[in-house]
Amino acid sequence: MVEDRTFSGRLFSAVNFILLALIALVTVLPFIHVVAGSFTTSAELAANKFVLIPKVWSLEAYKFIFSTNTIFRALGVSIGVTLVGTLFSMFITALMAYGLSRKDLDGRRVFNFLVVFTMLFHGGMIPTFLVVKELGLIDSYAALILPSAISAFNMIILKNFFQNIPEGLEESAKIDGCNDFGILFKIVLPLSLPAIATISLFYAVTYWNTYMSAILYLDNSAKWPIQVLLRQIVVLASGMDHSATLDGTVPPPDQTIKMAVIVVATLPILMVYPFLQKHFAKGAMLGSMKG
Protein backbone atom coordinates (compact mmCIF):
# COMPACT_ATOMS: atom_id res chain seq x y z
CA MET A 1 0.00 0.00 0.00
CA VAL A 2 1.20 3.51 -0.77
CA GLU A 3 2.35 5.50 2.24
CA ASP A 4 -0.23 7.97 3.47
CA ARG A 5 1.65 11.21 4.10
CA THR A 6 -1.17 13.45 5.22
CA PHE A 7 -1.20 14.65 8.82
CA SER A 8 -4.27 12.65 9.73
CA GLY A 9 -2.75 9.59 8.10
CA ARG A 10 0.41 9.93 10.17
CA LEU A 11 -1.52 10.55 13.35
CA PHE A 12 -3.56 7.46 12.63
CA SER A 13 -0.39 5.41 12.14
CA ALA A 14 1.21 6.73 15.29
CA VAL A 15 -1.80 6.11 17.51
CA ASN A 16 -2.24 2.67 16.03
CA PHE A 17 1.41 1.82 16.61
CA ILE A 18 1.34 2.96 20.21
CA LEU A 19 -1.81 1.01 20.97
CA LEU A 20 -0.40 -2.14 19.42
CA ALA A 21 2.85 -1.74 21.30
CA LEU A 22 0.86 -1.50 24.54
CA ILE A 23 -1.12 -4.60 23.67
CA ALA A 24 2.06 -6.51 22.88
CA LEU A 25 3.57 -5.37 26.17
CA VAL A 26 0.56 -6.48 28.17
CA THR A 27 0.82 -9.83 26.44
CA VAL A 28 4.45 -10.51 27.27
CA LEU A 29 4.99 -8.65 30.55
CA PRO A 30 3.33 -11.26 32.75
CA PHE A 31 5.53 -13.90 31.29
CA ILE A 32 8.73 -11.88 31.59
CA HIS A 33 7.79 -11.17 35.19
CA VAL A 34 7.45 -14.88 35.87
CA VAL A 35 10.71 -15.83 34.14
CA ALA A 36 12.64 -13.06 35.88
CA GLY A 37 11.03 -13.89 39.22
CA SER A 38 12.05 -17.49 38.93
CA PHE A 39 15.71 -16.52 38.58
CA THR A 40 15.94 -14.46 41.73
CA THR A 41 15.63 -15.06 45.46
CA SER A 42 12.34 -14.84 47.33
CA ALA A 43 13.68 -11.94 49.40
CA GLU A 44 14.61 -10.04 46.27
CA LEU A 45 11.24 -10.70 44.68
CA ALA A 46 9.39 -9.56 47.79
CA ALA A 47 11.46 -6.38 48.00
CA ASN A 48 11.31 -5.39 44.34
CA LYS A 49 7.76 -6.42 43.57
CA PHE A 50 7.88 -6.23 39.83
CA VAL A 51 11.02 -7.79 38.48
CA LEU A 52 11.83 -7.59 34.80
CA ILE A 53 15.55 -8.17 35.07
CA PRO A 54 16.62 -9.66 38.38
CA LYS A 55 19.18 -7.60 40.28
CA VAL A 56 20.25 -10.64 42.22
CA TRP A 57 20.44 -13.74 40.08
CA SER A 58 19.75 -17.00 41.81
CA LEU A 59 19.02 -20.57 40.88
CA GLU A 60 17.63 -21.21 44.36
CA ALA A 61 14.15 -21.97 43.11
CA TYR A 62 15.33 -24.34 40.39
CA LYS A 63 17.66 -26.12 42.80
CA PHE A 64 14.73 -26.61 45.10
CA ILE A 65 12.29 -27.96 42.53
CA PHE A 66 14.87 -30.30 41.05
CA SER A 67 15.95 -31.56 44.47
CA THR A 68 13.13 -34.08 44.47
CA ASN A 69 12.19 -36.73 41.97
CA THR A 70 8.67 -35.43 41.49
CA ILE A 71 9.39 -32.91 38.81
CA PHE A 72 11.81 -35.15 36.93
CA ARG A 73 9.18 -37.85 36.83
CA ALA A 74 6.47 -35.46 35.66
CA LEU A 75 8.75 -34.04 32.98
CA GLY A 76 9.63 -37.57 31.88
CA VAL A 77 5.95 -38.45 31.53
CA SER A 78 5.23 -35.29 29.55
CA ILE A 79 8.20 -35.74 27.24
CA GLY A 80 7.39 -39.41 26.65
CA VAL A 81 3.72 -38.78 26.00
CA THR A 82 4.55 -35.89 23.69
CA LEU A 83 7.05 -37.89 21.61
CA VAL A 84 5.08 -41.13 21.38
CA GLY A 85 1.73 -39.38 21.07
CA THR A 86 2.87 -37.04 18.30
CA LEU A 87 4.40 -39.84 16.24
CA PHE A 88 1.38 -42.08 16.69
CA SER A 89 -1.16 -39.34 15.97
CA MET A 90 0.76 -38.14 12.97
CA PHE A 91 1.02 -41.64 11.55
CA ILE A 92 -2.65 -42.55 11.76
CA THR A 93 -3.77 -39.05 10.83
CA ALA A 94 -1.65 -39.10 7.69
CA LEU A 95 -2.91 -42.55 6.69
CA MET A 96 -6.51 -41.52 7.08
CA ALA A 97 -6.04 -38.13 5.47
CA TYR A 98 -4.37 -39.67 2.45
CA GLY A 99 -7.04 -42.30 2.02
CA LEU A 100 -9.76 -39.68 2.17
CA SER A 101 -7.90 -37.29 -0.11
CA ARG A 102 -8.14 -39.66 -3.07
CA LYS A 103 -11.05 -38.74 -5.24
CA ASP A 104 -11.45 -42.24 -6.67
CA LEU A 105 -12.15 -43.72 -3.24
CA ASP A 106 -15.74 -44.89 -3.08
CA GLY A 107 -17.53 -43.87 0.08
CA ARG A 108 -15.24 -40.99 0.94
CA ARG A 109 -18.21 -38.68 1.34
CA VAL A 110 -19.64 -40.96 3.99
CA PHE A 111 -16.33 -41.16 5.85
CA ASN A 112 -15.92 -37.41 5.62
CA PHE A 113 -19.36 -36.83 6.98
CA LEU A 114 -18.75 -39.19 9.88
CA VAL A 115 -15.58 -37.30 10.78
CA VAL A 116 -17.15 -33.84 10.50
CA PHE A 117 -20.16 -34.98 12.51
CA THR A 118 -17.91 -35.72 15.50
CA MET A 119 -16.97 -32.05 15.47
CA LEU A 120 -20.61 -31.04 15.78
CA PHE A 121 -21.88 -33.61 18.24
CA HIS A 122 -20.20 -35.75 20.84
CA GLY A 123 -21.00 -38.22 23.57
CA GLY A 124 -19.46 -36.09 26.26
CA MET A 125 -17.27 -36.65 29.26
CA ILE A 126 -18.98 -39.49 31.11
CA PRO A 127 -19.67 -41.86 28.18
CA THR A 128 -16.12 -41.29 26.92
CA PHE A 129 -14.80 -41.99 30.40
CA LEU A 130 -16.79 -45.23 30.49
CA VAL A 131 -15.35 -46.34 27.15
CA VAL A 132 -11.81 -45.62 28.34
CA LYS A 133 -12.53 -47.52 31.53
CA GLU A 134 -14.05 -50.50 29.71
CA LEU A 135 -10.93 -50.69 27.58
CA GLY A 136 -8.87 -50.98 30.75
CA LEU A 137 -6.94 -47.80 30.04
CA ILE A 138 -7.43 -46.17 33.45
CA ASP A 139 -4.07 -45.29 34.99
CA SER A 140 -2.21 -46.10 31.80
CA TYR A 141 -0.21 -43.62 29.75
CA ALA A 142 -2.17 -44.83 26.73
CA ALA A 143 -5.18 -43.03 28.26
CA LEU A 144 -3.33 -39.77 27.66
CA ILE A 145 -2.87 -40.61 23.98
CA LEU A 146 -5.51 -42.91 22.53
CA PRO A 147 -8.74 -41.04 23.39
CA SER A 148 -7.49 -37.95 21.56
CA ALA A 149 -5.23 -39.63 19.01
CA ILE A 150 -6.78 -37.95 15.97
CA SER A 151 -7.98 -34.41 15.86
CA ALA A 152 -10.68 -34.20 13.20
CA PHE A 153 -9.58 -30.66 12.53
CA ASN A 154 -5.94 -31.63 11.89
CA MET A 155 -7.01 -34.54 9.75
CA ILE A 156 -9.09 -32.26 7.53
CA ILE A 157 -6.24 -29.75 7.19
CA LEU A 158 -3.91 -32.52 6.07
CA LYS A 159 -6.49 -34.03 3.74
CA ASN A 160 -6.98 -30.66 2.05
CA PHE A 161 -3.26 -30.32 1.66
CA PHE A 162 -2.96 -33.76 0.07
CA GLN A 163 -5.80 -32.95 -2.32
CA ASN A 164 -3.79 -30.09 -3.76
CA ILE A 165 -0.93 -32.34 -4.81
CA PRO A 166 -1.20 -32.88 -8.56
CA GLU A 167 -2.74 -36.25 -9.36
CA GLY A 168 -0.33 -36.79 -12.22
CA LEU A 169 2.49 -37.44 -9.78
CA GLU A 170 0.58 -40.24 -8.14
CA GLU A 171 -0.44 -41.74 -11.43
CA SER A 172 3.06 -41.82 -12.81
CA ALA A 173 4.28 -43.46 -9.61
CA LYS A 174 1.58 -46.04 -10.00
CA ILE A 175 2.68 -46.79 -13.53
CA ASP A 176 6.19 -47.26 -12.17
CA GLY A 177 4.79 -49.99 -9.95
CA CYS A 178 4.33 -48.09 -6.70
CA ASN A 179 1.42 -49.11 -4.50
CA ASP A 180 -0.65 -46.69 -2.41
CA PHE A 181 1.61 -47.00 0.64
CA GLY A 182 4.63 -46.32 -1.53
CA ILE A 183 2.98 -43.27 -3.06
CA LEU A 184 2.08 -41.92 0.37
CA PHE A 185 5.47 -42.44 1.97
CA LYS A 186 7.76 -41.81 -0.99
CA ILE A 187 5.92 -39.06 -2.83
CA VAL A 188 3.07 -37.43 -0.96
CA LEU A 189 4.63 -37.09 2.48
CA PRO A 190 7.95 -35.65 1.26
CA LEU A 191 5.99 -33.10 -0.76
CA SER A 192 3.89 -32.20 2.27
CA LEU A 193 6.64 -31.34 4.74
CA PRO A 194 5.27 -27.90 5.63
CA ALA A 195 1.86 -29.36 6.42
CA ILE A 196 3.37 -32.29 8.29
CA ALA A 197 5.54 -29.93 10.34
CA THR A 198 2.60 -27.71 11.20
CA ILE A 199 0.37 -30.53 12.28
CA SER A 200 3.09 -32.38 14.18
CA LEU A 201 3.70 -29.22 16.13
CA PHE A 202 -0.03 -28.79 16.79
CA TYR A 203 -0.13 -32.34 18.11
CA ALA A 204 3.07 -31.89 20.12
CA VAL A 205 1.74 -28.75 21.78
CA THR A 206 -1.53 -30.50 22.59
CA TYR A 207 0.26 -33.47 24.14
CA TRP A 208 2.62 -31.27 26.06
CA ASN A 209 -0.38 -29.37 27.42
CA THR A 210 -2.30 -32.54 28.31
CA TYR A 211 -4.18 -31.89 31.48
CA MET A 212 -7.79 -32.93 31.25
CA SER A 213 -7.14 -36.55 30.20
CA ALA A 214 -4.70 -36.83 33.06
CA ILE A 215 -7.12 -35.74 35.74
CA LEU A 216 -9.90 -37.84 34.20
CA TYR A 217 -8.00 -41.05 33.62
CA LEU A 218 -5.04 -41.13 36.00
CA ASP A 219 -5.64 -41.88 39.67
CA ASN A 220 -2.01 -42.61 40.40
CA SER A 221 -0.16 -39.37 41.12
CA ALA A 222 3.16 -41.00 40.19
CA LYS A 223 2.00 -40.88 36.58
CA TRP A 224 1.08 -37.21 36.49
CA PRO A 225 2.38 -35.14 33.59
CA ILE A 226 3.93 -31.76 34.29
CA GLN A 227 0.72 -29.79 33.77
CA VAL A 228 -1.06 -31.59 36.59
CA LEU A 229 1.91 -31.09 38.86
CA LEU A 230 1.92 -27.40 37.94
CA ARG A 231 -1.70 -27.07 38.96
CA GLN A 232 -0.96 -28.87 42.21
CA ILE A 233 1.90 -26.53 43.05
CA VAL A 234 0.53 -23.20 41.82
CA VAL A 235 -3.22 -23.19 41.42
CA LEU A 236 -4.21 -25.16 44.48
CA ALA A 237 -1.60 -23.54 46.67
CA SER A 238 -2.65 -20.05 45.59
CA GLY A 239 -6.21 -20.43 46.72
CA MET A 240 -7.17 -20.48 50.35
CA ASP A 241 -7.88 -24.18 50.08
CA HIS A 242 -4.55 -25.14 51.53
CA SER A 243 -6.10 -28.36 52.67
CA ALA A 244 -6.22 -29.26 49.00
CA THR A 245 -2.46 -28.93 48.56
CA LEU A 246 -0.19 -31.85 48.79
CA ASP A 247 -0.89 -32.80 52.41
CA GLY A 248 -2.21 -29.68 54.09
CA THR A 249 0.64 -29.30 56.54
CA VAL A 250 3.24 -27.97 54.13
CA PRO A 251 3.14 -24.19 53.77
CA PRO A 252 2.36 -22.95 50.27
CA PRO A 253 5.51 -22.81 48.13
CA ASP A 254 7.35 -19.54 47.62
CA GLN A 255 6.49 -17.30 44.70
CA THR A 256 9.89 -17.96 43.16
CA ILE A 257 9.30 -21.70 43.29
CA LYS A 258 5.89 -21.41 41.69
CA MET A 259 7.41 -19.25 38.98
CA ALA A 260 10.20 -21.74 38.35
CA VAL A 261 7.68 -24.55 37.89
CA ILE A 262 5.70 -22.40 35.45
CA VAL A 263 8.87 -21.77 33.46
CA VAL A 264 9.74 -25.46 33.37
CA ALA A 265 6.24 -26.36 32.18
CA THR A 266 6.36 -23.69 29.46
CA LEU A 267 9.95 -24.03 28.30
CA PRO A 268 9.46 -26.70 25.63
CA ILE A 269 6.81 -24.57 23.94
CA LEU A 270 9.06 -21.56 24.05
CA MET A 271 11.74 -23.65 22.41
CA VAL A 272 9.56 -24.94 19.57
CA TYR A 273 7.84 -21.59 19.11
CA PRO A 274 10.36 -20.16 16.64
CA PHE A 275 9.98 -23.26 14.47
CA LEU A 276 6.27 -23.29 14.95
CA GLN A 277 5.86 -19.67 14.07
CA LYS A 278 7.09 -20.06 10.52
CA HIS A 279 4.48 -22.64 9.71
CA PHE A 280 1.39 -22.20 11.78
CA ALA A 281 -0.15 -19.21 10.08
CA LYS A 282 -0.13 -21.16 6.84
CA GLY A 283 -1.45 -24.24 8.63
CA ALA A 284 -4.27 -22.35 10.26
CA MET A 285 -5.24 -20.89 6.91
CA LEU A 286 -5.33 -24.31 5.32
CA GLY A 287 -7.66 -25.28 8.13
CA SER A 288 -10.06 -22.55 7.24
CA MET A 289 -10.66 -24.07 3.83
CA LYS A 290 -13.62 -26.33 3.50
CA GLY A 291 -13.34 -30.07 3.93
Instruction: Decide: is 135 part of the binding site for another protein (CB under 8 A).
Output: yes
Instruction: Decide: is 82 part of the binding site for another protein (CB under 8 A).
Output: no
Instruction: Decide: is 221 part of the binding site for another protein (CB under 8 A).
Output: no
Shortest gap between Cβ of 192 and another protein (angstroms)? 15
Instruction: Decide: is 153 part of the binding site for another protein (CB under 8 A).
Output: no
Kindly write out the interface string for residues 237-256 of this chain, putting x where it contacts another protein by CB under 8 A and - elsewhere.
-xxxx----------x--x-
Instruction: Decide: is 173 part of the binding site for another protein (CB under 8 A).
Output: no
| 56, 149, 165, 173: which one binds another protein (CB under 8 A) | 149
Positions in 200-219 near another protein (CB under 8 A): 205, 208-209, 211-212, 216
> Given the rule CB under 8 A, which of 53-61, 62-70, 114-122, 163-171 is the region that contacts another protein?
114-122
Instruction: Decide: is 273 part of the binding site for another protein (CB under 8 A).
Output: yes
Instruction: Decide: is 85 part of the binding site for another protein (CB under 8 A).
Output: no
Instruction: Decide: is 122 part of the binding site for another protein (CB under 8 A).
Output: yes
Instruction: Decide: is 129 part of the binding site for another protein (CB under 8 A).
Output: yes
> Given the rule CB under 8 A, which of 56-64, 125-133, 161-169, 188-196 is the region that contacts another protein?
125-133
- Mapped to the 3 state alphabet, what secondary structure does the chain carry? CCCCCCHHHHHHHHHHHHHHHHHHHHHHHHHHHHHHHHCCCHHHHHHHCCCCCCCCCCCHHHHHHCCCHHHHHHHHHHHHHHHHHHHHHHHHHHHHHHHHHCCCCCCHHHHHHHHHHHHHCCCCHHHHHHHHHHCCCCCCCHHHHHHHCCCHHHHHHHHHHHHCCCHHHHHHHHHCCCCHHHHHHHHHHHHCHHHHHHHHHHHHHHHHCCCHHHHHHCCCHHHCCHHHHHHHHHHHHHCCCHHHCCCCCCCCCCHHHHHHHHHHHHHHHHHHHHHHHHHHHHHHHHHHCCC
Instruction: Decide: is 230 part of the binding site for another protein (CB under 8 A).
Output: yes
Amino acid, single-letter form, for residue 111 = F
| 98, 141, 162, 224: which one binds another protein (CB under 8 A) | 98
Kindly tell me which of 64 and 129 has the beta carbon lying closer to another protein: 129
